[in-house]
Amino acid sequence: MRNFLDFHYLKKEKNDIEIEHFFDVEEVLIPLDFQEEYSIYKQKGDYIHIGEVIAKDINNFPIFSSVSGIFIEIVEKFYKKDKKIKFIKIKVDKKNNKAIFKSRKNYEKLTKKEFLKILKDYGLIDFNEKYTPIYKKFKELKDDKIKYFIINGLETEPYLNMTNTIIYEKIEEFKKIIDFILKLFKLENVLIIIENNKELSNFLKSHLDKNIIIKRVPKLYPLQKENLIIKYLFKKKYSRDLTKHKILMLNFLSILDIYNAVIENKPFIEKIITVNGKGVEKPSVLLVPLGMKIKDILEYCFYYNNKCRQIILDSAMEGEAIFDIELPVFRGTKAIIALNENETEKIKPYKCINCGKCVNVCPMNLASLKFLDLSLNETEKIKKYNFNKCISCGNCQYICPTNQPLREKIYYLKKKLEEVDE
């Protein structure tokens, strides 16, 4: 397929990684990373229980403590060079950390309204759309019938390995919650999209409702993006807001979060993440508490301090390089990628040679090389280019033979455009 990249060589083909549970921490930093303003319900010295609401944003959306312990202080740290975030520092009291959330025995009797309330009250956010609360995706469909319910099992980004592992390990959980959602919303057209893997397809067919269609698609990046999958499946363009087309799409990880909230009665306090790259000796898939420090995770995976050149959060294509490993796992973190010298291979950018490769790989058909010469003051010109179409996939920068900083330029141009629009 044109305009897509294949990273299968940077991924594990077989399901030979297991999810490890890693909760042994001294201190966590719970990020207040969703909105500018939060109401914080605790103060210095207060005791906090695992699963307790410690803050809410201006929309009343909650943030939970992922551990039990003492509220130490609020700290502020740079996340990107132009962005600071506040965190609640908690010293972990391991006595109470094995708190058991009593599972909801009568979950099958929940009404749609009660179901949506749980998704909201338990702080669930969408895996793909990072900070979109999941309840909103359901709610925006209102009482209209959902035409297609699509479960997105694609993970085409380089270095990410967790989705297939999770599907194999958590299939019983998926079966329970998917059956429940199908019944509750009376869904008929249900599709599961996975990478072209026959073994996985047969595994899903043998465990899930026979009416669910399993569709295999090429392992190409960035096909996992919602609007690109839809374009691939239905052979026509849809607007980014899929709810307008009565399509509900959720990732397997979001479905697992729904299982935890609805059936296990557990709020959003933990995350499954991939740790990968040649900067760690032990690439892993880990279940960690929200707010766990990246440094603790890297040490657990035997981080080569002397060889590691760059740490990236999320994915090598779309993620952010971070410079402070005291930063924690955020609610939207998918992966920690530790790259060594060979993997980063930084060559200073030299002059664009107009090869056009960046245009050929753009799934949105944008000419990103044109953005390079734009100055941030040229607001009229910036407005003319359709930056909103850019899905920040990073393909253009990855393919560029002269290492032009295309993604960074697009980031600042988009930011400028936001300021102009305000």
Query: Interface with ligand SF4 by CB under 6 A: which residues?
Result: 352-358, 361-364, 366, 368-369, 390-396, 399-402, 404, 406-407, 410
Nearest to 278 by CA among 10, 8, 16, 22: 10
Beta carbons within 8 Å of 82's beta carbon, 6+ residues apart: none
Nearer to ligand SF4, 221 or 300 (CB): 221
How many DSSP H helices and E strands does the chain contain? 14, 17
CA distance 121 to 115: 10
Beta carbons within 8 Å of 108's beta carbon, 6+ residues apart: 180, 183
Nearer to ligand SF4, 261 or 361 (CB): 361
Shortest distance (Å) from residue 7 CB to ligand SF4: 14
Shortest distance (Å) from residue 196 CB to ligand SF4: 23
CA distance 221 to 158: 8
Shortest distance (Å) from residue 285 CB to ligand SF4: 27
Diameter over CA atoms, the chain: 64
CA distance 40 to 54: 6
Nearer to ligand SF4, 322 or 352 (CB): 352
**Helix, strand, coil share (%) of the chain residues, nearest 5:** 30, 25, 45
Shortest distance (Å) from residue 320 CB to ligand SF4: 14
Shortest distance (Å) from residue 170 CB to ligand SF4: 31
Shortest distance (Å) from residue 365 CB to ligand SF4: 8
Let me know: does 135 contact 119? Beta carbons within 8 Å: yes
Nearer to ligand SF4, 342 or 354 (CB): 354
Nearer to ligand SF4, 128 or 260 (CB): 128
Nearer to ligand SF4, 180 or 371 (CB): 371
